[in-house]
Structure formats: structure tokens, C-alpha cells
């Protein structure tokens, strides 16, 4: 059995844990990120989280009388554009002001003489890596994955490796154009998938329909995707239509993606994907099937398996 | 210097030629395909073309007194879905009734004891391979290419290798969705790039505008993309608008493609691309630039360099 440490750097918390080669997480730790304290302080807290995991690993080993667990590496998942292989965060929407931050160097300095190699990648690529090795992607070579959250992240796996592209921005599947003159996306473009399937946009699309007078049990103020999903489950027609339309746009994006990349499987995760088969996935598949060419193989569309654990598991897979 | 033979199998002609490692073609041959005579007859004609090339190579060598040119392999570009590495054509729109045809085996049988390895790939992938090694793709690692002809073909190059995907249908860039409720495409989907930028669709879009009463020098009957391009060059506003709109749809498709794959360069070739910078390419670039995310590197959009030679050059690169 081999072991590695995964660190999931978020805007609120830094999570850490130990992963064994059988995909089991243990020795979990959570530390507040405290974004306002700046990058060096965050690097120190990441190092602290790593140290906490290692301390617990050593204590457990000591208590059980087993032989020492060799940790082959530490992987860090971070939001933002990461320059592959360099340990540098080019920029990150979650950490305002960070430009070309050598985060791994800072963490390494804080760790002192701890001789374990460090790796970093984008949080969505890391999520994809987790699903690839221990989730819905096990047994597949060529995968695309979508993370439906506030934004719509994505990742591309080719021959069981995350593909980074020419400037580390491959896999921005949320910015596949699904409606050329459609809703304005946060990226500046019009009609990206994210402008329909991102959390804020799902809420806005619903609010727009409420304002237009559609009958619904939903309230305009304080609306969340979760409320919409719950209303849909209890039969609210507007809420159901919103998810069906979201599914259709996902199906359109996946059509383009399948024709370009011909993957074996599309994995859809993130909070919005929790809406599940009836509200969301059946509509994705139906739209996809009605649009794609008749080819020898058919891309599967499946929900992610690891949920919130994908970030930690995937980060811990970076050293492999 | 090394040498290889390229064969470009088309619905009308079989073309053959010798390629040297410096990218020069020689000993060109053309034989009629005669589709109606069936696959075995076509295999015999391909073998005949190969033999003609070899005979000329040997004659030239003999006459010049130079040492024998060693031919390292023979590559064949064919329309249709080719099962990579197998020599089998799964199906081809240009050869009705061909299903899982082991074309390379047939050609090999016809060639008898000629001991030169044979390779086959899809004609568009082969075109991309030609541009990659001896055309607009020289010096680039990650490339996408579009061939604007009757249909809109495409190819994807990753790390200087043509990417075939999971079931040999990666790179169907012409079936990127650019207008979800748009024109019906030949593939059955609505709003594919091909439904706007394919030759037939460019003609139909123009005809529709003529029927709607748009002022133009163009005639409804017998209209061709070439006539539209010529009219645009001489100032016909409708013709110019049609190419501008074609360019915008290409820009939309390339936006999705760039966000998914993050290539360094997009190469656009085929008859329609001959419309050139002012009529077409400037509109592609403008639309692309207005839609794509601000990332560290910018994908270039350039015309193909090899023109009609790409098929032969690329086929001859298959053995490498």
C-alpha cells in the first residue's frame, strides 16, 4: 500500500487528508483559509494542515505498532489558472490580487526540511483526477468532466491523463457556446454553458420567469438552486422546466464536446448535479442522443461518484 | 533523405505521389477511381497507382545514376470513418455500401510481394497531418484544423500526433453546435457549424436571402460558393454578408473548441477558405477574439498552406 496527502484549498477552508492506494481517505483536517491574511499566511496554514495530517499518521502508526507509512507526495488543488509543472498560480478568482504566485515554493519553505515532493493543479482538474482514479472514471481512458457549481468547471482526460492544453486552460467546458446570442457569461462571452448551468444563472433564469408571471411556489428573493430543485421534486412546473432546460443546454454542450473529443464518458458533478436523474440527467441524455452522430461507440453520461471528497482524493492523486 | 508514397483516394480520382523528408512531392500519378466497379477493383487501381509511382522512382534513379531511393512506407487517405491501426474502413459516405472494408488487406494482396508497410487514415486527418509536418502547422504542438468543403471536416493534433478519440471520431469540428435551434445539418443535428459553413449551406443561405428580396447580382439558379465569393470581391453586399456571417459562425465554433482544447493554432483550409482574409478570416478572428477568455496565450487562426497537396503530403506522412 502507498500513501499520499491531498490538500483542497478553498476560499473558506483548507482541507487535508491521507489517501491510500485503495482510495480510502483518513486523517482528515480542516483549517480556515483566512483569505484576507495574504498568501504567505495561507501557505503557512497549508503547511500546518500537512503537518497535522503527518502527525496523526505517525501517531496512528505508533499506536497500532504497524510499520511506518511512507508518504510518496503531497498534492494541492487550488482554484485558478495553475501553470502546470511550475507550482505557480497565474491568477485565481477566489484570491483577489494573486498574480503568478509561487505557492508551492512558499509552502515548501514553511515545511522546512520535510522531504516529500509537492504538486499542484487546478481544483477542477484535481476533481477530475479523483473521479478518474477512484470515482466514476475508473476503467475509462478518455473522459470529460463537468463541475456544476457557482461556475461550471470542466476537465479533459486523454489516455488516463488530465490534459492541460497549450496554456493550461484546456477543459474550460463551461465556456462551450450553447446559445450564441444568449445570456451574458461571467467570462464576457454570450451564451456559454455556464450562463445557463451555473448556480447564479439557474437562479436568475428562474427569477426572470417569476417576474414574467409564471405560476410557482418559489419566492423571488433569496432564491437558491437547492430551493428550485426541492420545488421541482414536489411538482413545481416552473422549477422542473428550469432543470429540464439546464439539462438540454448541458446536452448541447456535450454534443459539441463529443464531436470534438470523442470521449467514452462524461462525468457530471457539483452541487447542481445533485438534482439527479429525473430532474436533470434524463434531459441531458435525451438532448445529447437527439443531436449526436451515429458512430460506433456511444459516450456515457453519468453523475460523479466522489461528491465533496473528489477534491481531496484528486489532490492526493497528483503525486502519482 | 527518406521517401514515402502518399495515396489520396477520392470519389473521382486516386492520386499518388512520392514525398521526400524535405516535403517535396514528385512522381505524381492520377487514376480514375471508378466507384461503381466495387472495392476490389478500387484496391487494384490503388495498387496500380502505387506501382506507377515506384516504377517512375526507379526509372529516375536509374537515369540519374543515383543510389536507390528507399521507400519507408505507403500511406492512404480515404474519406469515411477509418478504424485507426486496423486498415479497415468502417463506412464512407463517398463509397455507398462499404461497411468494415479491410481496404489495406485488399491493396496488399494486389501488391503481391512488395514489402513496404501500408497505412491508412481518414482524408481530413491526413490533410491535418500534411499541414502539421509541411504546412501551416510546422513548429506547433497542439493544432485544430478545419476543411471547409462540401462538408466541414476537422482534425485535432495533440503533442504533434493526430488525436483519434475513443472510437476514431474525434475532430468532427464541423459538428460543433453554433446555433442550437439553427439550420438542419446533414448529420441530423440542428445548428452544426457545417450547416452554416459547408458549401451547400452557404449556397442555400444566399438563395434564401435572394428569395427574401435582398438586392444582389447573384442568380438563384446554379449558384456556387465561388460565384458568391467573386460577387463579394466585386462589392456585392449580400455576398459579403454571407461570408461575414460564415466567418462569425466559424469564430463561435472556434471559441468552443479553444475553451475545450486550448490549441496553439487553428488552421482553416478547403475550397471555401480560399475566400481569404478580407471576406472570411478577419470575421473569424474578430468573433473569436470578442468571445474567448483572457488567457496567457492566444490561439492563432491561419489559412492552410498546402491546398490540394495536403491530401497527398499528409498520406505520405502516415508511415512516419
How much is the mean pLDDT over chain A?
95
| Helices marked H in chain B | 39-64, 103-111, 123-134, 194-197, 199-211, 225-233, 237-261, 276, 282-291, 310-317
Which residues in chain B have Cβ-Cβ distances shorter than 8 Å to A171?
260, 262
State how far the Cα of B207 lies from the Cα of B62, in Å rounded to an integer: 57
> Torsions phi, psi of B83, nearest 5?
-85, 110
Min distance A288 CA to chain B CA atoms (Å): 10
The angle, 0 to 180 degrees and rounded to 10, between the axes of the packed helices B237-261 and A237-261 is 90
Q: Residue range A250-279: average pLDDT?
A: 97
Nearest Cβ partner of B172 from A252, A259, A291? Answer: A259
Q: Looking at chain A, which residue has its C-alpha nearest residue B181?
A: A179
Say whether pLDDT at B215 is over 90: yes
Q: Which chain B residue's Cα is nearest to A144? A: B260
Alpha helices in A24-140 (DSSP H): 39-64, 103-111, 123-134
Q: For the segment A158-208, what is each residue's pLDDT rounded down to a tens digit? A: 999 999 999 999 999 999 999 999 999 999 999 999 999 999 999 999 999
Q: Which pLDDT does position A165 carry in this prediction?
A: 97
Is pLDDT at B92 greater than 90 in this prediction?
no
Q: Specify the DSSP class assigned to residue B174.
A: G
Q: What is the per-residue pLDDT for A65? A: 85
Q: Tens digit of pLDDT for each residue in B118-143?
A: 999 999 999 999 999 999 999 999 99
Please name the member of A179, A260, A262 whose beta carbon is closest to the beta carbon of B176.
A260
**pLDDT reported for residue B296:** 81
Taking the alpha carbons at both ends of chain A, their separation in whole angstroms is 13
Which positions in chain A touch B256 (Cβ < 8 Å)? 175-177, 256, 260
Within 8 A of A166 by CB-CB distance, chain B residues are 141-142, 262-264, 297, 299
Task: Give the chain B residue whose CA is nearest to the CA of A171.
Answer: B260
Q: What is the DSSP string of A174-213?
A: GGSBS-TT-PBPTTS-BSBTHHHHSHHHHHHHHHHHHHTT
CA distance B34 to chain A (A): 27
Tell me how close the Cα of B122 comes to any Cα of chain A, in angstroms: 15
Question: Chain A residue closest to B264 (CA)?
Answer: A166
Q: Quick check: A259 and B173 CB within 8 A?
A: yes
Q: Spell out which residues of chain A touch residue B164, defining contact as CB-CB under 8 Å.
A: 262
Asked if the model's pLDDT at residue B94 lies above 90, the reply is no
> Closest to B169 (Cβ–Cβ): which among A176, A256, A262?
A262
Say yes or no to pLDDT of B66 above 90.
Answer: no
Q: Write out chain B residues lying below 8 Å of A294, CB-based.
A: 188
Pairwise CB contact (< 8 Å): B158 & A156: no
Q: Calculate how close chain B gets to A151, using CA atoms only, in Å.
A: 14
How many angstroms separate the first and last alpha carbons of chain B? 13
Cβ distance A262 to B187 less than 8 Å, yes or no, reads no
Q: Is B130 in a helix, a strand, or coil?
A: helix
Partner-chain contact A176 B262, CB within 8 Å: no
Which residues on chain A are in Cβ contact (under 8 Å) with B176? 256, 259-260
Q: Which residues pair with A71 in a beta bridge?
A: A3
- Grade residue B68 by pLDDT with cuts at 50, 70 and 90: confident
- Compute the nearest-CA separation of A102 from chain B (Å): 16
3-state helix, strand, coil in chain B (%, to 5): 40, 25, 35
**pLDDT value at residue A112:** 92
How far apart CA B97 and CA B78 sit, in angstroms, is: 15
CB contact under 8 A, B262 and A297: no
Q: Please compute, for residue A7, the number of CA atoms within 13 A of its CA located in the half-sphere on the CB side.
A: 31
Whether the pLDDT of residue A22 is over 90: the answer is: yes
Query: Which pLDDT band holds residue A139 (cuts at 50, 70, 90)?
Result: very high
Strand, helix or coil for residue B26: strand
Interface contact flag, A189 B261, Cβ < 8 Å: no
Provide, as residue numbers in chain A, all residues whose Cβ is less than 8 Å from the Cβ of B290.
Answer: 189
Test B170 with A260 for CB contact under 8 angstroms. yes
CB contact under 8 A, B175 and A296: no
**Confidence class for position B96, pLDDT limits 50, 70, 90:** confident
Give the Cα separation of B111 and B73 in Å (integer): 13
Of A130, A189, A123, A119, the C-alpha closest to A153 is A123
Structure confidence at residue B168 (pLDDT): 94
Cell, residue B2: 527518406
Is the Cβ–Cβ distance between A314 and A129 less than 8 Å? yes
Which of A256, A261, A291 is facing B165, going by the closest CB pair?
A: A261
- Cβ contacts (< 8 Å) between A264 and chain B: which residues? 166
Identify the closest residue of chain A to B189 by CA–CA distance. A291
Closest CA to A185 of A202, A173, A201: A201
Q: What is the mean pLDDT of residues A215-231?
A: 97
Q: What number of C-beta contacts closer than 8 Å exist between A and B?
A: 146
Poorest-confidence range of A51-55, B28-32, B59-63?
A: B59-63
pLDDT at B69 over 90: no
Model confidence, pTM: 0.95
pLDDT of B265 > 90? The answer is yes
A241 to chain B, closest Cα gap in Å = 18
Amino acid at each position: 500500500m502507498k500513501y499520499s496527502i491531498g490538500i483542497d484549498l478553498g476560499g473558506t477552508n483548507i482541507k487535508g487528508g491521507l489517501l491510500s492506494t485503495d482510495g480510502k481517505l483518513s486523517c482528515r483536517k480542516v483549517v480556515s483559509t483566512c483569505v484576507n491574511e495574504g498568501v504567505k499566511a495561507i501557505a503557512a496554514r497549508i503547511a500546518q494542515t500537512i503537518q497535522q495530517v503527518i502527525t496523526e499518521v505517525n501517531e496512528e502508526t505508533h499506536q497500532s505498532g504497524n510499520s511506518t507509512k511512507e508518504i510518496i507526495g503531497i498534492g494541492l488543488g487550488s482554484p485558478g489558472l495553475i501553470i502546470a509543472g511550475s507550482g505557480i498560480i497565474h491568477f485565481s478568482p477566489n484570491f483577489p490580487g494573486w498574480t503568478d504566485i509561487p505557492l508551492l515554493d512558499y509552502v515548501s519553505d514553511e515545511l522546512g526540511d520535510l522531504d516529500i515532493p509537492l504538486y499542484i493543479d487546478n481544483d477542477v482538474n484535481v476533481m477530475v483526477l479523483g473521479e478518474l482514479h477512484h470515482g466514476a472514471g475508473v476503467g475509462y481512458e478518455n473522459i470529460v468532466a463537468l463541475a456544476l457549481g457557482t461556475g461550471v468547471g470542466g476537465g479533459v482526460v486523454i489516455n488516463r491523463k488530465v490534459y492541460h492544453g497549450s496554456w493550461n486552460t484546456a477543459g474550460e467546458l463551461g465556456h462551450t457556446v450553447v446559445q450564441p446570442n444568449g445570456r451574458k457569461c461571467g467570462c464576457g462571452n454570450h451564451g456559454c454553458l455556464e450562463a445557463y448551468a451555473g448556480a447564479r444563472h439557474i437562479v436568475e433564469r428562474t427569477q426572470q420567469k417569476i417576474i414574467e408571471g409564471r405560476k410557482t411556489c418559489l419566492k423571488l428573493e433569496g432564491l437558491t438552486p437547492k430551493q428550485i430543485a426541492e420545488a421541482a421534486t414536489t411538482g413545481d412546473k416552473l422549477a422542473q422546466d428550469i432543470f429540464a432546460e439546464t439539462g438540454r443546454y448541458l446536452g448541447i454542450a456535450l454534443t459539441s464536446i463529443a464531436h470534438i473529443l470523442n470521449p467514452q464518458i462524461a462525468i457530471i458533478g457539483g452541487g447542481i448535479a445533485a438534482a439527479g436523474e429525473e430532474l436533470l440527467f434524463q434531459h441531458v441524455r435525451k438532448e445529447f442522443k437527439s443531436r449526436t452522430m451515429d458512430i460506433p461507440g456511444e459516450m456515457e453520461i453519468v453523475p460523479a461518484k466522489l461528491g465533496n471528497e473528489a477534491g481531496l482524493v484528486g489532490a492526493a492523486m497528483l503525486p502519482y
